[in-house]
Structure 1
Amino acid sequence: MAQFSFEGRSAQGQSVKGEIAGASVDAVAAVLVGRGITPVRINEVSLGASLVKRINVVLGSEQVPVVDLVMFCRQMYTVTKAGIPLTRGIRGLAASVRHEHFREVLNDVAEKLETGMSLSRAMRQHPKVFDSLFVSMINVGESSGKLDEIFRQIGFYLERDEETRKRVKSAMRYPSFVVVALVIAFVVINIYVIPPFAKMFSKFGAELPIVTRGLIATSNAFTTYWPAMLIVLVMLVGGATYYLRTEQGAYLWGGKKLRLPIIGSLIERASMARYARSFSLMLSAGVPITQSLSLCAAAIDNPFLSAKIQQIRQGVERGETLLRTHLQAELFTPLVLQMISVGEESGQVDNLLRDVAEFYEREVDYDLKTLTDRIEPLLIIVLAVFVTLLALGIFLPLWSLYDVQTGGM
């Protein structure tokens, strides 16, 4: 079937845009009318436009920003709390969504709701937008009749998780910029600065210091073998990227980055905060412990930690306590383990896990505020060594030549 783009008006008078597959314009119009949309314009999507859309998909146009999901959860909380029918509410929200793919997904969810499908099952058809944790929470909300509260909790969880991610990226922006600038300076100096000095020094035939000889050798390697070096670099980056996408590579890197200097502990605590908050969210919604742990393992974007959480789940299935399984994981501080123990004894594991998440988030906030202060001395040392080697390599021969000239006068 051909693809058609359309513009129309909802029953509330809101403007609706999107794309839909159909046999003809009349068939598309009939489908839109059945959805409660009055079509204003229907055009067949050209082959060129369809090709552009496929390219955009490859470039990530189907990736829905977390901000849009947070806004959707907040709006759905209002819709469900007000008692508005889900189909009408979702269609109304789709009309106001700017992200094209997200709008299409919401319209598809509304269409499936009209056929009698449950909301969680309709959302499960779009795993790239609604992950397993999201869908499971919606399923619990439907079963318990607390869908409005579930949407509120999911929105809060996504918002806190995104805030932590943004703070980590913001803290790493300055060091990353310095490192990139240093690499660019290193390449430019080796290609454009050192070769003229090397030619000048070769004319005098004097014995050069070892630092100068090292700089000249590095510069010659850059200017002579740069095609081979570029090919090797591309192969190394491509090979590393491919390996890290494999199951074994992702697992090994997941464990290694937790032991990186300075930022390793920060990544670990941020991941633990995400685990504790998602686990608390699932338990407070009434999801069984084993299923909650499986969903939390899928929500953690670190295969090494996911494997640890799966080990915790297996221990619980064998009848072991949460305290014992978390102790065997060797990931949590004694204070956190004590909080989990108290939670088990008092029957308030979800509340204590929420406290654990807040504990880790406070530690992450403090570390992020001091991260730049801890990295700056290391960057200064690296820059100082780089400048010192460059200065010695260039100026020592110049001083030697000056001494030779003045001594001969």
Structure 2
Amino acid sequence: MALTKTRKPKATGPSVFIWEGLDRGGTRVKGQIQAATLALVRAELRRQGVSLLKIRKKPPPWFGGIGNKIRSADIAVFSRQLATMMSAGVPLVQAFDIIGHGHDNPRMRDLVLAVKADIESGTSLTEALRKHPLHFDELVCNLVAAGEQAGVLDLLLDKIATYKEKTESLKGKIKKALVYPIAVILVAILVTAAIMLFVIPQFEALFTSFGADLPAFTRLVIAISDLMHQWWWGLLLAPAVLYFSIKTFWRRWSGFREILHRLGLKLPLVGPVMHQAAVARFARTLSTTFAAGVPLVEALESVAGATGNLVYSRAVMQMREEVATGQALQRSMHRRNLFPHLVVQMTAVGEESGVLEDMLAKVADFYEEAVDNAVDGLSSLLEPMIMIVIGTLVGGLVIAMYLPVFKLAAVV
């Protein structure tokens, strides 16, 4: 209970600890380990039979290690490298040594060499990966464990690499659909703000010197410009406050995350793409884990965290409970009202014929291609809409400023 109480308020994520000690034979050993607290490090080292001599938290890199963060794409590349070397017959420790020393990212290099050090000390690859849950999730660890138990680690590593590559490809397609329109709209907002803050006041001074009555639309734009001048600090502060508020709620409140995920699925243009991406992740992950020999109930637990959407994640966990009581997977999927009819029918065929992993792989291929096509179509559809938004903002300001000029010209 004491351990739980000390861990709850921190929520800062695991840290890296550098340690030195003596193994069971009295040999001096040292290494690095990632854990949430110092107590967990001591407990893990005791379990390994290490008598601690020195231990300290690894200091963070200067400037926070900007540009050196371990990304999921790095883990995908690492998985493919390891799978290739294992398939070529390179010993596991040597493969980790080659990959670690050949990596440009120092954080990724430290991670790979830390796993290598654990393997050299006699720890299985599965246990070595489980010490780094931030980078190797339960799905990867379960597949590696299945490969080690069955003696087909190279085949399972190849499946993991393929899975990671397809997952990263799917993420890239979704980002492609979202980043471009968001970036263009942000630029349009910045340009509009610059016009309101620096250009409109020049026109206001000019119109004041004329002494003529201004059109209502022009007066409205000038009033907004004056308001932005008075509250310029609020314009700078509001986005930062909004960003950190959303970030805090996202981290600390799962209900908030679910609300945003649910809203994302209901958006008119992006929603269908999000649905298809979640279905593709579900099918790809379940196909990979089930093909590796992981029991369906355990596989569904891993799948729940890999869908990328809390709505689908909760639905998969409900399906897991029903499948654990003996119900058919396709019936449980049908009750959720989330999965398309095609997916449910393909699952039913796979269950009845005993080739569930093959059917799910075909479903994943179909929906990954559907996401790709939807992204291309979405980009083509959003471009004219973005132009309309930008034209309305900038064009409206231009009209507002030139209306008094047209009025004066008409009077003259």
Q: Confirm or deny a common fold (TM above 0.5).
A: yes
Aligned residue in 2 for 1:86: 92
Against the structure 1 CA distance between its residues 101 and 240, is the aligned structure 2 distance closer, same or farther, given a 3 Å change threshold? Answer: closer
Q: Does 1:308 align with 2:311?
A: no
Question: Partner letter of residue 344 of structure 1?
Answer: E
TM-score normalised per structure 1: 0.82
Are 2:184 and 1:178 aligned? Answer: yes
Q: What is the deviation of 1:74?
A: 2.8
Flag the 1:201–1:71 CA change in 2: closer, same or farther, 3 A.
closer
2:198 corresponds in structure 1 to: 192
1:56 maps onto 2:64 in alignment: yes
Task: Tell me the SS of whatever aligns to 1:332.
Answer: coil
Q: What is the identity, as a one-letter code, of the residue corresponding to 1:101?
A: R
Q: Which of residues 128, 131, 138 is equivalent to 1:132?
A: 138
List gaps (5 residues or longer) in structure 1. Answer: 1-18, 24-28, 33-46
Larger Rg: 1
2:349 aligns with 342
TM-score, normalised via structure 2 length: 0.82
Q: Which amino acid in structure 2 is aligned with residue 328 of structure 1?
A: R
Q: How does 1:18-97 map to 2 (within 5 A)?
A: 22=20, 53=61, 55-56=63-64, 61=68, 63-97=69-103
**Distance apart, 1:201 and its partner CA:** 2.0
| Corresponding residue to 1:275 among 267, 272, 282 | 282
Select which of 115, 121, 126 maps to 1:115.
Answer: 121
Deviation string, structure 1 residues 1-53 (Cα, Å, up to 9, x no partner): xxxxxxxxxxxxxxxxxx96559xxxxx9759xxxxxxxxxxxxxx9xx7561
Does residue 224 of the first structure (1) align with residue 224 of the second (2)? no
* Conservation of the 8 A alpha-carbon contact between 2:119 and 2:125: yes
| Alignment check: 8 A CA contact 1:211 1:389 kept | no
Q: How many residues align?
A: 364
- CA distance in structure 1 between the aligned counterparts of 2:235 and 2:95, rounded to whole angstroms: 57
Letter in 1 for 2:127: R
Question: Cα deviations across residues 286-312 of structure 1 (Å, max 9, x unaligned)?
Answer: 101111111111223322221111111
Alpha-carbon shift at residue 82 of structure 1 (Å): 4.1
The structure 1 segments of at least 4 consecutive aligned residues displaced by more than 6 Å after TM superposition are none
Aligned equivalent of 2:41: none
Equivalence for 2:330: 323
Which of residues 168, 179, 195 is equivalent to 1:162?
Answer: 168
> 1:200–1:355: structure 2 CA closer, same or farther, 3 Å change rule?
same
C-alpha distance in 2, partners of 1:64/1:307? 28
Distance in 2 (CA, whole Å) between partners of 1:309 and 1:242 is 26
Query: Post-superposition shift, 1:101?
Result: 2.3
Alignment-derived partner of residue 153 in structure 2? 147
- In 2 relative to 1, CA 55–131 (structure 1 residues): closer, same or farther, beyond 3 Å? farther
- In the other structure, the counterpart of 2:389 is 382
Matched, 1:254 2:244: no
Secondary structure of the equivalent of 1:394? helix
C-alpha RMSD of the superposition: 2.4
Instruction: Give percent identity, aligned residues only.
Output: 32
CA distance in 2, matches of 1:249, 1:71: 33
Which digits, 9 at most, give the CA deviation of each residue in 1:124-171, with x for residues without a partner?
011122111111110010111111110111111111111122223234
Secondary structure of the corresponding residue to residue 395 of structure 2: helix
In the alignment, which residue of structure 2 is the partner of 1:208? Answer: 214
